[in-house]
Structure 1
């Protein structure tokens, strides 16, 4: 194993590694946070065949990261409600800058760079006003905060860049939280999730909401296809969840389209979709549920269910050269069409992130 180089890569868990940083990271194909058998948090690099490249200790549980498109820098975010993020120089492993959430704000754990790398956009909570915010940070000025604008909703969790290079898509989960209440959800009866599309100045270009009976379906995670199609995963905020779809597709200008499956699938998922990913070809979408111990794939054109695989505590999913790669909370890893294997002494966290093209 590579320890120093692995550490540099591990700091980027749940985010993309710049091309110039791959060699320094031991050239992993995927990254995932995990917990060791001793209860410590670690970050793991996996090869294209899901063999372990490195394993390293973490001081605490992180969330996601964003990679600069040109510089070998990555921003690693603390888990919600996080008050800081670290800009890591991938060549040296040093902290180049520290971002601190302004007063009355906290990070949600996700961010994305503009295509030219001059700005960083972060999802944040204006917790005193129960309003989602996108923070804008000036990279050339040492990641100084330069502006902020509304996210188009409450509780923005994930954020992604569309292939046009000038549009942001946000998963506004609709759930109000406050640091004084930890991770408690404060507005379930009135929550209103949405997908919002914004330009870099914060102008709202489009907004799509679930139908009223599904307003307790918190939109949490995103995957963007190369043509701009957006896949979204949801988490149902109610004890009664029979028959409620937990994922779907959207294209700007249209309505949300939900995956189609028999009620039994959604019942088995217990109201919780953990991760979502398009296949490399873009013709299929994978949706995982660690609570339901299953991994489902859907046709990206018809939205119909294609297959259900039963796997213990499966949650992380990403595209593979053929099909999908998955990880589980029991330390399992699998590629489509191949047997499930175990990585000794690990329990993988929620997300598996592809860090390079195949």
Structure 2
């Protein structure tokens, strides 16, 4: 009987070799960037139990990653106002290509693939014109840039592909920045965040803003349920004593709905949500407040269910029966009604825990 190696060699010779899948990278369930004890940075793959299945060096601090829907490819994004986005083959740890934002642009730390994996969409800042853009990259042609479309606002951060496969939902944070000013926020008195729905051909299909009195409530991060319900995490840029609700949900055709648990939880979180996620069942929403060391879990209508108190908790993703969280202290936690530690690593997990399709 021919060996597997001989069989694969025959497939290669015939030009019909099977395409690598995420199984070839150890079947990770999640991706996360982290800082190592040495001060270096890396992208990690974690399995469903929170154990590391691969570690790939990064040239600087990472923010989030985009996982290809079928191939073991991850795009690791630098923290804003980063210039690098690396396309990494997670099966062998090699960098396939580096994406460079065009002159006058920089990345905002997030991206997403189209459903068939043929196009990568990246949130970007056209800083000379103070407008948000979505970069489009041709995966099948070596990630060549196809162009860019307007994001519908200023400061686009996270974006997700809607279930229709043709529309992007975009968190336009409303904050003007410029790389010459570092991380300085240039327009806080006049900022206007919004949630925009943008077609892949560049049309703004729908758009919603917070109430005028909450115009400094920067819409930053998104989670998407399979039926199209969007959960939104905000970061308050106004007076700390006047923190409004930081969690909202939206369904197209309806109004933007903010949810307030009726306690001082938003102040306890210091007006800053780091991540948002639906549970594996979609019945609950989690938002994390790394500055306050607390995560809030609500039902899908925004009614509070429970709190998790854990220093520097930030990354959040769906789990098999609830949520998985990561912390800057190296912990990986599971919550399915109660919390337990799944794993601990000598790393500082960064802001986001990204599910692999």
TM-score by length of 2: 0.88
- Give 1:61 deviation, angstroms: 0.9
Asked if 1:177 corresponds to 2:177, the answer is yes
Give the equivalent residue in structure 1 for 2:351: 350
8 Å CA contact 1:155–1:172 kept in 2: the answer is: yes
Residues 349 and 199 of structure 1: CA distance in aligned 2, closer, same or farther (over 3 Å):
same
What SS is found at the alignment partner of 1:140? helix
- Which has the higher Rg, Structure 1 or Structure 2? 2
| 2:212 counterpart of 1:237 | no
Cα distance in 2 for partners of 1:305, 1:277 equals 14
Query: How far is the alpha carbon of 1:20 from its aligned partner?
Result: 4.4
Task: Number of aligned residue pairs: give it.
Answer: 337
Q: Kindly state the Cα deviation for residue 89 of structure 1 after the two structures are TM-superposed.
A: 3.6
What secondary structure does 1:339 align onto?
Answer: strand
Q: Which moved more, 1:194-203 or 1:141-150?
A: 141-150
SS in structure 2 of the partner of residue 109 of structure 1: strand
- Contact in 1 for aligned 2:25/2:91 (Cα 8 Å): no
Whether the 8 Å contact between 1:241 and 1:271 is mirrored in structure 2 is no
Please tell me whether residue 188 in structure 1 is matched to residue 226 in structure 2.
no
Identify unmatched segments of 5+ residues in structure 2.
Answer: 1-18
CA pair 198-312 structure 1, distance change in 2 beyond 3 A: same
Question: Per-residue CA shift, 1:23-50, capped at 9, x if unaligned?
Answer: 2322222222222233332333322222
Change (3 A) 1:316 1:72: closer
Show the counterpart of 1:309. Answer: 308
Tell me the residue number matched to 1:126: 126
Moved over 6 A (4+): none
The Cα shift of 1:334 comes to 1.5
Q: After superposition, where does 1:273-288 map in structure 2 within 5 Å?
A: 273-288=273-288
RMSD: 2.0
CA displacement at 1:83 relative to structure 2 = 2.4
5+ residue gaps, structure 1, are: 1-18
Give how far 1:173 is off. 0.4
Kept in 2: contact 1:45–1:53 (CA 8 A): yes
TM-score (norm 1): 0.88
Does structure 1 residue 202 correspond to structure 2 residue 202?
Answer: yes
Q: Which whole-Å CA distance do the structure 2 matches of 1:284 and 1:195 have between them?
A: 21
Distance across 1 between alignment mates of 2:294 and 2:223: 19
Q: Select between 328-337 and 85-94 the one with higher mean Cα deviation.
A: 85-94
Deviates more, 1:333-342 or 1:201-210: 333-342
Provide the rounded CA distance (Å) in 2 between the counterparts of 1:338 and 1:309: 8
- Matched residues in 2 for 1:227 and 1:355: separation? 19
